[in-house]
């Protein structure tokens, strides 16, 4: 079926046959004139028909068709109108991506040049296709793209992906496809909706692997159980990852992401791998990266509880253009041969929060970075804002330890940050002072800054701590304290004790009460702590439901039927110098 609007012809559910005979269906938008046109391809699990989704409209297909492109939006395998009854993240995207690019290039009105674009999952499908080196693919534009489906941080599981994403985005269509014409369809859909409405109870279920709603998951999310079974980065994950494969990519990428985006770490790795390893000089030299202050599915000027100004909005990027036009400029250059200015700026463009300005850079991380430890101090009473915790560039000497009790039945709740929990869990920068009233949050704050301090680059915390438990978690959060007392999260991270040696190393429990060294990855940021502000570091043991709870019993978190409290000790003295390593930029 086709339909025509002024200047554009649309065709719906156009079939493409994959190498194994599966039929994937796409909607096509093309100019209402005779001729051959370059193709812009998007492959999505979120329904090609649902263009009302905010994150689906990073580029308007109607405007792109009016600008002389054939735009193809395809449902990936096992989603919506495409063949398959069970969806597995990324499993089929290598071959299906290659086959679809070559199919698209062969269509009657195509000129043989293909570009791929998208957001989130469907920003990742271009990478999988590019790895396969289809001859007609010329460039990609991924906005917030993953490496794979390994969604553990420091050994803790990202519940916003493994539960919230599965239930909200995959559940209804997955059950409809699996139970079509079955009397079980309506009861199972109602059970799914009830659990979505009470998702906090789902997050708290024990044992986690026995969550009732996920027993419907073999209809829409079989990957739930597989992810729980593979907390290490083992062969299961390596079979469906992009890590170590950028040396096969022959085409340049324009990478967009956000400082508060769930996939920030993946995008930074995409960029550095492409610049160092891509298969062609053109791909290495022309790949670019833009990082705004955005969250995942929150690419506006108002992010969390802060407004970064109109120049941060993708509707008016840097007061120059909108995101659709950026896409068209990129693809005009690579698919049409238009010599515009898209490649004239530095390869890295950062939004520097605090100053709230865009700045060009030549590399990531920045070569002029001065990595500087910022040490924690107290007289043993750093609990909450009422405590005596301090941050200083001076290392500690002989100071008493700080203590707190971690009760996984009363975890520190998620408040802001890089997640995609339901919208009532605020994302991005959110005032943390309510959480800082808790006695299980250690709070360390610098003196009032006498000058601006810029922190741009990767962040990490070296923590020396002991626990009464054989396994436990520790969290760290960098915070910008404003003169009025509001305290906004900048970056955070978590480490699970049994996985302290890294995701490739066999886990091992800790000896209760022994001092252990933990390195906590806080990802990265670009933020100017302004004169008159203060820098703060929070240490605790939970951030729930962003990450699953550690039961403190030594059991695997998803198998645990009971929870136990843990007595935590944080050290800061001449031997154990707990600190955050700040990437300071000279100003």
d(CA 381, CA 442): 8
Given phi > 0 = left and psi -120 to 50 = alpha, else beta, which region is 387?
A: beta
Q: Which of 299, 309, 300, 315 is nearest to 353 (CA)?
A: 309
60, 261, 471, 548: which one is catalytic?
A: 261
- CB-CB contact of 121 with 263 (8 Å): no
Q: How many CB atoms lie within 10 A of CB 152?
A: 22
- CB-CB contact of 539 with 442 (8 Å): yes
d(CA 93, CA 42): 12
How many separate helices (H) and strands (E) can be counted in the chain? 13, 26
Report angle CA 119, 121, 125 to the nearest 5 degrees. 95
- For 376, residues 6+ apart whose C-beta sits below 8 A from its C-beta are 382, 389, 390, 391, 396, 442, 444, 537, 539, 570, 572, 578, 579
Sign of CA dihedral 349, 419, 445, 391: negative
20 part of the active site: no
- CB-CB contact of 131 with 53 (8 Å): no
| DSSP-assigned beta bridge partners for residue 6 | none
564 HSE (CA, 13 A, CB side): 14
Q: Is 69 helix (H, G, I), strand (E, B) or coil?
A: coil
- CB-CB contact of 55 with 119 (8 Å): yes
Q: How many CB atoms lie within 10 A of CB 291?
A: 26
296 part of the active site: yes
237, 270, 296, 572: which one is catalytic?
A: 296
Q: For every residue of 428-475, which 3-state class applies, written as one string? A: ECCECCCHHHCCCCEEEECCCCCCCEEEEEEEEEEEEEEECCCCCEEE
Supply the Cα-derived Rg of the chain in whole angstroms: 24
- CB-CB contact of 250 with 283 (8 Å): yes
Q: How many CB atoms lie within 10 A of CB 503?
A: 16
The bridge status of strand 288-295 relative to strand 254-260 is parallel
Q: Is 216 helix (H, G, I), strand (E, B) or coil?
A: helix
- For 183, residues 6+ apart whose C-beta sits below 8 A from its C-beta are none
Please state the separation of Cα 317 from the chain's center in Å. 21
According to DSSP, residue 292 is labeled E
120, 160, 378, 467: which one is catalytic?
A: 120
- CB-CB contact of 391 with 537 (8 Å): yes
Report angle CA 359, 364, 331 to the nearest 5 degrees. 70
426 part of the active site: no
426 HSE (CA, 13 A, CB side): 14
d(CA 26, CA 19): 17
Q: Please give the span between the terminal C-alpha atoms of the chain, in angstroms, as a whole number.
A: 60
d(CA 161, CA 152): 10
Catalytic sites, residue numbers: 120, 261, 296
């Amino acid at each position: 079926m086709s339909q025509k609007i002024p200047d554009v012809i649309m065709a719906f559910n156009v079939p493409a046959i994959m190498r194994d005979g599966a039929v994937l269906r796409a909607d096509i938008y093309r100019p209402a004139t005779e001729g051959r046109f370059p193709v812009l391809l998007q492959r999505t699990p979120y329904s090609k028909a649902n263009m009302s989704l905010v994150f689906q409209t990073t580029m308007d297909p109607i405007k792109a068709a009016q600008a002389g492109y054939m735009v193809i939006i395809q449902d990936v395998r096992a989603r919506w109108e495409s063949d398959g009854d069970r969806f597995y993240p990324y499993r089929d995207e290598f071959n299906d991506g290659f086959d679809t690019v070559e199919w698209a290039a062969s269509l009657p009105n195509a000129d043989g040049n293909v570009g791929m674009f998208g957001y989130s999952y469907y920003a990742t499908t271009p990478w999988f296709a590019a790895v396969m080196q289809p001859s007609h693919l010329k460039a990609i534009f991924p906005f917030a793209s993953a490496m794979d489906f390994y969604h553990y941080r420091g050994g803790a599981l990202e519940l916003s992906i493994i539960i919230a994403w599965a239930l909200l985005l995959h559940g209804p269509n997955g059950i409809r496809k699996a139970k079509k014409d079955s009397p079980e369809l309506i009861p199972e859909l109602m059970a799914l909706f009830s659990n979505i409405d009470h998702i906090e109870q789902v997050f708290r279920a024990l044992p986690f692997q026995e969550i009732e709603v996920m027993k419907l998951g073999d209809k829409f999310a079989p990957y739930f159980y597989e992810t729980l079974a593979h907390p290490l980065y083992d062969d299961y994950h390596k079979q469906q990852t992009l890590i170590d494969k950028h040396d096969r990519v022959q085409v340049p990428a324009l990478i967009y992401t956000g400082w508060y985006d769930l996939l920030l770490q993946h995008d930074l790795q995409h960029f550095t791998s492409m610049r160092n390893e891509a298969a062609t000089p053109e791909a290495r030299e022309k790949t670019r990266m833009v990082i705004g202050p955005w969250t995942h599915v929150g690419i506006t000027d108002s992010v969390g509880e802060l407004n970064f100004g109109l120049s941060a909005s993708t509707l008016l990027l840097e007061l120059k253009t909108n995101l659709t036009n950026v896409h068209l400029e990129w693809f005009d250059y690579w698919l049409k041969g238009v010599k515009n200015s898209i490649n004239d700026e530095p390869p890295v463009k950062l939004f520097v929060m605090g100053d709230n300005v865009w700045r060009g850079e030549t590399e990531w991380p920045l070569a002029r970075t001065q990595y500087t430890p910022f040490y924690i101090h107290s007289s043993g009473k750093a609990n909450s804002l009422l405590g005596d915790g301090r941050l200083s560039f001076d290392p500690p000497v002989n100071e008493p330890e700080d203590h707190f009790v971690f009760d996984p039945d009363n975890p520190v709740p998620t408040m802001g940050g890089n997640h995609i929990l339901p919208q009532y869990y605020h994302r991005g920068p959110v005032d943390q002072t309510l959480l800082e009233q808790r006695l299980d949050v250690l709070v360390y704050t610098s003196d009032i800054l006498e000058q601006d301090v810029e922190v741009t680059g990767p962040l990490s915390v070296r923590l020396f701590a002991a626990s009464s438990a054989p396994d436990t978690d520790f969290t760290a959060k960098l915070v910008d304290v404003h003169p009025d007392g509001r305290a906004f999260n900048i970056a955070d991270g978590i480490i699970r004790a049994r996985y302290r040696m890294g995701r490739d190393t066999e886990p091992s429990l800790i000896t209760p009460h022994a001092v252990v060294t933990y390195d906590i990855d806080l990802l990265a940021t670009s933020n100017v702590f302004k004169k008159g502000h203060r820098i703060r570091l929070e240490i605790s043991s939970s951030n729930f439901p962003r990450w699953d709870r550690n039961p403190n019993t030594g059991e695997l978190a998803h198998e645990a039927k009971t929870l136990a409290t843990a007595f935590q000790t944080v050290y800061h003295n001449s031997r154990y110098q707990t600190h955050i390593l700040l990437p300071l930029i000279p100003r």
